[in-house]
Amino acid sequence: MSSDANKRLEDVSDKANVNSLSNQTSSLVGAATAGGRSMVYQLTSFYMRTPLKLFRPARFDYTHYIRVLLTGSDNTQSETKVRSSRYRFWNPKYTYYLENSSIGIVTKALNRYGWKVIPDRILPPLVANSLAGVVLYTTYLATLNNFPLRATDQAFQHNMFDFLRAGFLAGAAQAIVSAPIDAIYTRANIDELLSSAKKYDNLWLYSRDKIREIGLIGCFGGFGLSFIRESFGFALYFTTFEMIRGPIRQLMLDFIKNYRELKYTVQNTRLSDIFFDEDGNKIETKKPRLISPKEEMWYSRVFIFIGGVTAAFVLQSVQFPFLKLQKIHVSRLEAYDIYLKNLPSTSSTTIGNIPNTKIRIPKGSSRFHIYYNSYLDTFEHVFFFMKRSKRETIAWLYKGFTRNTLAIIPGTTAGLLLLDYMRSQLRSPEEYKRLQ
């Protein structure tokens, strides 16, 4: 008995080890998934006027800076182009969406500024957006691997609480990393970008100086709303995906097997089967395979796709209202900074310089007190606005939800499909033998 128990414990430990990924493999899967998600984002961004949101609403659109620069120089030539090509096949009104897509904007920038525009003005926002995705995936996989596996009838799996915890921590980590990117994006208006183009050759220097001007407090302005949005949103996001691709898929497979087994039993318990044949032998049919491995694989792919679409909808349902509140809150904080900056004197800043948006704390007031009152002020402003607009709270918070959800689903689903594929491909050979 003791030897059988020890052997069973060894089998359990071996299965638990091969069913999880190492920390190094988790980092590799996270980086590959974020890169693949970005590729899908670029390939699918042409069919809408604004680029698709990638996995989550984009922190900084990689074409925003060059789009602003090209728009100012194209205005002087727009009228002549329309007149000269009004009766031609390539009329600008027919090629508007192609010219203003991501591929069209990048092509214009390459023709005008050369290949240097890629590392100087396109690569910085791409790196910033990809960094947030790498942190999200890597944190989720590394955290989930540290939770113990629990034995079930089919295999050793994590429960729903483990997915919630791992997703919550991954969302919190992404909120911390993305806070400086949010601060730069919300304070980078068109006039400032045009003026900074004359001073800075690339966005790396502009971002560095902008973070210095905003300061540490300004970078984390409105972090409370961002933390709630990211942590709870991705907790439900990963939980929804893992539960659909795991237990719910297994329930469907068990239902199909039980149905086919019942059908086989009914078909082979007829009255004629009780009697013997002419030779005196009882007629018996061989029990067929209830479900083939290929069919089970296709069911798994279908449920992974359904899980990705459903998880994207759940993520957007949680994050969309908080994102709207955060935009209002950050804009009011910026207005408060400008008000405090102009209190001493109006001649302290010169024309043409980038305005100082660093949050200033009055003497005698604690940081917690100021930020606590700023949240209360934002909520009062939102309630006042909703009363003026005569709309219900839910209707106002989810205005524009459908369009944003349709925009985020392709990149989000592709990211999850690639995540599951990479995670399955990087398992050890012992895991494949056990599954077979």
Half-sphere exposure of 232 (CA within 13 A, CB side): 13
Q: What DSSP state is assigned to residue 108?
A: H
- Supply 79's token pair: 């009228």
The mean-pLDDT minimum among 80-89, 195-204, 221-230 falls in 80-89
Task: Read off the pLDDT of residues 135-168 as tens digits, 9 standing for 90 and up.
Answer: 888 888 889 888 887 766 555 678 889 899 999 9
Q: What is the pLDDT of residue 429?
A: 52
Q: What is the pLDDT of residue 434?
A: 47
- Supply 128's token pair: 């910033």
How far is residue 56's CA from residue 226's CA, in Å, rounded to a whole number?
12
How far is residue 59's CA from residue 272's CA, in Å, rounded to a whole number?
71
- In this model, does residue 350 exceed pLDDT 50? no
Instruction: Map out the domains of the chain as residue ranges.
Output: 21-270+294-435
Residue 195 CB contacts under 8 Å (≥ 6 apart), including other chains: 352, 354
State the Cα torsion 221-208-354-364 to the nearest 10°: 40
DSSP string, 135-164: HHHHHHHHHHHTSPPEE-SSSEE--HHHHH
Give me the long-range contacts of 103-108 (CB less than 8 A, separation at least 24).
103/46, 105/63, 105/66, 105/67, 105/70, 106/63, 106/66, 108/66, 108/70
Task: Read off the pLDDT of residues 392-425 as tens digits, 9 standing for 90 and up.
Answer: 777 878 888 887 777 667 766 666 666 666 666 6
Highest mean pLDDT among 6-15, 56-65, 175-184, 232-241: 232-241
pLDDT band at 386 (very low <50, low <70, confident <90, very high): confident
How far is residue 66's CA from residue 110's CA, in Å, rounded to a whole number?
10
Residue 121 CB contacts under 8 Å (≥ 6 apart), including other chains: 65, 66, 109, 113, 202, 203
**Which residues sit opposite 156 in a β-bridge?**
151
What pTM did the predictor assign?
A: 0.68
What is the mean predicted confidence (pLDDT) over 339-358? 51
**Per 3-state DSSP, what percentage of the chain is helix, strand, and coil (rounded to 5)?**
75, 0, 25
Q: What is the pLDDT of residue 154?
A: 57
- In this model, does residue 355 exceed pLDDT 50? no
Longest dimension (CA), the chain: 112
- Supply 45's token pair: 């961004």
